Amino acid sequence: MSKSIIRVEALHKSYVNGKNSLHVLKGLDMNIQEGEMVSIMGSSGSGKSTLLNVLGILDNYDAGSYHLDGIHITRMNETKAARYRNQYIGFVFQSFNLISFKNAVENVALPLYYQGVSRKKRNDLALEYLGRMGLRDWAHHLPSELSGGQKQRLAIARALISKPKMILADEPTGALDSQTSREVMDLLKEVNQTGIAMIIVTHENEIAAQTRRIIRLRDGIIESDEENAAFQHESSAAFLS
Amino acid sequence: MLDYLEEILSTLKQNKLRAIMTGFSVAWGIFMLIILLGSGKGLQNGMEFNLRNIAQNAIQIWPGRTSLEHEGLTKGRRVQFTNEDVELLQREVSGIEDLTGRLYLWSEVPITYKSEYSNYTVTCITPAFYRIQRQNLIKGRFINENDQRESRKVLVLSQSIVDNLFKDEDPIGQYVKLGGIHFKVIGVSASPTDKDAKDALIPLSTGQRVFNGSHNVSNLAMTTAYQTVEANKQVENSVREFLAKRHRFSSEDQEALYVWNTMDSVKQSQGAFNGLRIFIWVVGIMTIVAGIVGVSNIMIILVKERTKELGIRKALGASPWSVVQLVLSESLFITALAGFVGMLLGMGVLHGATLILSKVYEGNPMIRNVFYNPSADFGVALSAAIVLVVAGLLAGFIPARKAASIKPIEALHDE
């Protein structure tokens, strides 16, 4: 029986803007096991970005509880939050969010810098991960010299290098063409097979269809949370074609 | 450490022009500070150079007229010093080291050698004089105890008088006519400060006898055994009391005596120079403050521009402290480098000025009394360096706080 990596109970979050208060998350319950691949779907305004922020310890919540790998995540100081992020979570963003004046190796090695790993070790490990992504030859190139797919692979390498327990991906294929999207999704699935939980926030059905479980959000509550019926078909379809 | 440097340099390289312009104001501030401080020191050195021939702790006293009634005597009386004053003063008042009375003759006296003559001021002194007001001996000797005791008709002339009267002839042993009376020239002197000084010195006793000065003395000059202002003031007061009693005027009478205590003027000018130095520091620091505001300004813009990058770093695990360090070390780096450059340039200019000045001294030595050896010593450079470090940290403070408070989510979705 695998452990729960994310356990959310009665989660509430509001954004306060002066006198107005916007209640975005209205009591969510969610349980994600280690090694699961889940997509979170919803139209804009459904609260999916907010949920992602809370899960990624990038923002606080107002009521309920959130346990990450058994650790109760409460309002904590930024230093502690940064440390947890660094240890448990890898991020993949739609717009890649690479540092433009650092080359590929430096970008990938950055999480290790914040773990206090020595320069040589960092860079060696970064090169290894780049190799796994097929980007070894581009090690000293700047992000501006890479294609969209390469950049996202770089970002994934960066997300993996700190050996996180889960990856939070926010529209990872949003800026990529369909071919490249497929490649990236395959990569994410491979990563997931190694036991790292994968949580993908998306509004595209095709992307969600490639995950085993889909959680749908609407107006701040979970509308549905079910096994992806299309999942088996999708993979077998790919297998067949 | 190397990581830090790498981080900072790569960010700065991104916009060299901006970094240079920012650093400029700090460099300028430090440069000005060093130049001003050096110049201040130069002025002070000049003044001290000027005074160094007069004994630091000399007191000179001239008699005046009483302005207060005292012991039944009216005011307006002239006070007159005599030989007795000198003797008794030396005996009765403690703390006096060397004491001389000087007699100035009423008017300029013609000194004649062969066919050359001119009018000069003649001063009659005792040998103690040379310990109070230093002279350089060019030829022969100074007036000594025997001359004073035997009231010899001997004369010490300054070099400029010798040049006038004797031209290239050796004056030692020659006789000149001083006010119609033959005097033998026994020595040639020169003032260390004033190369055009025209001093003609004869023994006090001779002057009193030959020129009908009886026992009179025009002024008293003394050095004390003490170095501090308070002790000197004590001696001055004791002397004043003593003379007041002897000449029967009130010791409160400000016009009965004119006292010039070199300690006072030295302290005064030192005070003035200290004041100048404080003023310079204030001006210098204000300029640097302007520079800091400039650096701070640029850093804030920099932080704003790097919002996304800082957000990414935070998401990846950068603690607020590490972000603060990033910003602070950058501003520190810019200020330190700029300040260093400013300091080098400032000291370079001062050094160059010293070189030029030493050439100027050769042609015009009087300048040395005004402006001498402008230099910023190590202590100054060190203080400037400390100011810089503090400045760098201050400059980075506000931008660092801004950086630390960036929320990663806001930064990342900042499109």
* Predicted TM-score of the model (pTM): 0.65
CA distance B274 to chain A (A): 49
Number of domains in chain B: 2
The pLDDT of B188-196, averaged and rounded, is 75
> In this predicted model, what pLDDT tens digit does every residue of B201-250 receive, in sequence order?
888 888 888 887 678 888 888 888 777 777 888 888 888 888 888 888 88
Quick check: A97 and B312 CB within 8 A?
yes
Q: Tell me how far apart the alpha carbons of residues B192 and B207 are, in angstroms, rounded to a whole number.
A: 25
High-pLDDT (> 90) share of chain B, %: 1
Residues with Cβ within 8 Å of residue B300, at least 6 apart in sequence = B398, B399, B402
- Amino acid at residue number B140: G
Quick check: A119 and B3 CB within 8 A?
yes
High-pLDDT (> 90) share of chain A, %: 54
Structure-block tokens of residue A190: 């491979």
**By three-state DSSP, how is residue A142 classified?**
coil
From chain B, the residues in CB contact with A98 under 8 A are 312
Quick check: A85 and B308 CB within 8 A?
no
From chain A, the residues in CB contact with B14 under 8 A are 101
> In this predicted model, what pLDDT tens digit does every residue of B237-260 receive, in sequence order?
888 888 888 888 887 877 888 888
Q: Are residues B166 and B308 in the same domain?
A: no
Residue of chain B minimizing CA distance to A79: B319
Which of B214, B242, B263 represents a domain boundary (last residue)?
B263
Q: Which residue has the higher pLDDT, B367 or B313?
A: B313
> In this predicted model, what pLDDT tens digit does every residue of A62-103 receive, in sequence order?
999 999 998 999 988 888 889 999 999 999 998 899 998 889
Q: Which residue has the higher pLDDT, B396 or A129?
A: A129
Which of B237, B263, B289 represents a domain boundary (last residue)?
B263
Q: Are residues B220 and B297 in the same domain?
A: no
Structure-block tokens of residue B12: 């700065």
Give the ipTM: 0.87
Q: Are residues B127 and B259 in the same domain?
A: yes
Q: Are residues B13 and B68 in the same domain?
A: no
Does the structure show a pLDDT above 60 at A196? Answer: yes
Whole-number Cα distances in Å, B179 to B105, B149, B210 = 11, 22, 10
Q: Are residues B221 and B177 in the same domain?
A: yes
Residue A201 pLDDT class (50, 70, 90 cuts): very high
Chain B positions touching chain A (beta carbons under 8 Å)? 2-3, 10-11, 14, 308-309, 311-322, 404, 407-409, 412-413, 415
Q: Are residues B271 and B383 in the same domain?
A: yes
From chain A, the residues in CB contact with B317 under 8 A are 82-83, 85-87, 111, 114-115, 162
* Cα-to-chain-centroid distance, residue A156: 9
The domain of B189 spans 58-263
Q: Are residues B28 and B76 in the same domain?
A: no
Structure-block tokens of residue A50: 């907010």
Residue with tokens 């040395």: B368
The CATH H-level superfamily of A4-240 is P-loop containing nucleotide triphosphate hydrolases (3.40.50.300)
Question: Chains A, B: CB contacts under 8 A, how many?
Answer: 64
Q: Are residues B67 and B206 in the same domain?
A: yes
Q: Which of A58, A83, A119 lies nearest to residue B315, judging by beta carbons?
A: A58
Confirm or reject contact between A103 and chain B (CB < 8 A).
Answer: no
* Cα-to-chain-centroid distance, residue B306: 52
CA distance A129 to chain B (A): 17
Q: Are residues B74 and B203 in the same domain?
A: yes
Residue of chain B minimizing CA distance to A99: B309
> In this predicted model, what pLDDT tens digit does every residue of B37-59 receive, in sequence order?
888 888 877 777 766 655 567 78
Confirm or reject contact between A162 and chain B (CB < 8 A).
Answer: yes
Q: Which of A207, A208, A204 is nearest to A225 (CA)?
A: A208
Which of B217, B247, B263 represents a domain boundary (last residue)?
B263
**By three-state DSSP, how is residue B214 classified?**
coil
Confirm or reject contact between A94 and chain B (CB < 8 A).
Answer: no
pLDDT, residue A142, reads 92
Confirm or reject contact between A164 and chain B (CB < 8 A).
Answer: no
Q: Which of B337, B340, B311 is nearest to B31 (CA)?
A: B340
Q: Are residues B211 and B286 in the same domain?
A: no
Q: Are residues B325 and B253 in the same domain?
A: no
